């Protein structure tokens, strides 16, 4: 995406942390921005600090589908159609899976994963319909994951799970929206100067029955660590640059590059050389078809958007028929 001026952007978790950094950078590019956040007091502080007529706030629990629709309708009524969606709201729980409850799972999945799903389900169909009708050119979706989408440890276990899922959702959505000229990026930041360490403050009352007592000493230690996190405005600027370049992955923190390489080497080391089994050649024929289709999609994503959906995505009857023919030919 090259043109931000005049577009309407919707940013969840937009009142602080990464969200406010993205909001500021979008406003600098001339976009109209809606800040969606669960805390009205945080929205009020953000709006006061921005002092910009092209920004509005809307209180939203991203886990609520009805709330998302109401927020979308309100924003589009005031600012016009949303063509930039930033699903950024997130919470964390710094504990391992074996010490977690169903309430813990419901809370983090509700915000970190279902919040992204709700944003996509609310806005993307609207974007696609407008593109089809010639009422919108392009658009972009940014989903905030984390380096935890690649680097998983024992804790925070549920958080890691949600971020891996957001990464997978974003990768799939990226290729399905190429044909409409709508970009998709997944933001994978490292440590950020934010208040995510205090997520318990906004935990819904209905999901507190099984929660562990808050370790205030641990929260204070995490607060100290986050003071060294990347400034939100720095991340926001890098997000804008990545959108302009239509990058799928936004790695805002270069300090993780070597570790990421180590992780992928570790994964590849787990492959074993097994003898051929029945059906091997047929599978390889199909996988080559799929691999070529994915490579075409990646190439299309790096270049200008295709206007004819010419690359293969295995979603059409014709593509599946061709794949079946290749498999039979290998038999």
- Residue 194 near residue 19, CB atoms below 8 Å: no
Which H, E and C letters describe 198-226, residue by residue?
HHHHHCCHHHCCCCCCCCHHHHHHHHHHH
Residues 6+ apart with CB under 8 A from 129: none
* Annotated catalytic residue 159: yes
Half-sphere exposure in the Cβ direction for 220 (13 Å, CA) = 3
- What does each C-alpha distance from 244 to 29, 85, 239 come to in angstroms? 11, 14, 9
How many residues does this entry show for the chain? 331
Q: Per DSSP, what are the bridge partners of residue 11?
A: 35, 86
Choice among 159, 175, 180, 197 that is catalytic: 159
Please give the span between the terminal C-alpha atoms of the chain, in angstroms, as a whole number: 45
Q: Which residues are catalytic?
A: 159
């Amino acid at each position: 995406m090259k043109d931000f001026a005049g577009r309407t952007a919707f940013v969840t978790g937009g009142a602080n942390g990464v969200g406010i950094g993205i909001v500021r950078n979008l406003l600098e590019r001339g976009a109209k921005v809606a800040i969606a956040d669960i805390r009205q007091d945080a929205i009020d502080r953000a709006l006061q600090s921005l002092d910009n007529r092209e920004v509005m706030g809307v209180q939203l629990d991203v886990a609520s589908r009805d709330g998302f629709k109401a927020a979308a309708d309100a924003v589009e009524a005031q600012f016009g159609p949303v063509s930039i969606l930033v699903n950024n709201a997130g919470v964390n729980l710094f504990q391992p899976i074996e010490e977690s409850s169903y309430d813990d799972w419901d809370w983090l999945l509700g915000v970190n994963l279902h919040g992204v799903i709700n944003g996509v389900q609310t806005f993307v169909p609207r974007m696609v319909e407008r593109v089809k009708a010639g009422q919108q050119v392009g658009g972009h979706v940014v989903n905030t994951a984390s380096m935890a989408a690649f680097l998983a440890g024992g804790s925070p276990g549920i958080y890691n799970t949600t971020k891996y899922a957001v990464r997978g959702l974003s990768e799939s959505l990226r290729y399905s929206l190429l044909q409409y000229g709508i970009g998709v990026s997944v933001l994978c930041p490292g440590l950020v100067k934010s208040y995510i360490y205090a997520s318990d403050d906004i935990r819904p009352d209905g999901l507190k029955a099984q929660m562990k007592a808050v370790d205030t000493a641990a929260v204070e230690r995490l607060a100290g660590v986050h003071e060294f996190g990347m400034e939100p405005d720095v991340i926001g600027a890098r997000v804008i640059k990545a959108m302009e370049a239509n990058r799928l992955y936004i790695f805002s923190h270069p300090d993780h590059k070597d570790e990421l390489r180590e992780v992928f080497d570790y994964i590849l080391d787990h492959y074993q050389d097994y003898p051929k089994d029945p059906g091997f050649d047929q599978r390889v024929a199909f996988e080559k078809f799929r691999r070529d289709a994915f490579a075409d999609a990646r190439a299309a994503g790096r270049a200008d958007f295709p206007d004819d959906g010419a690359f293969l995505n295995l979603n059409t009857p014709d593509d599946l028929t061709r794949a079946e023919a290749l498999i039979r030919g290998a038999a």
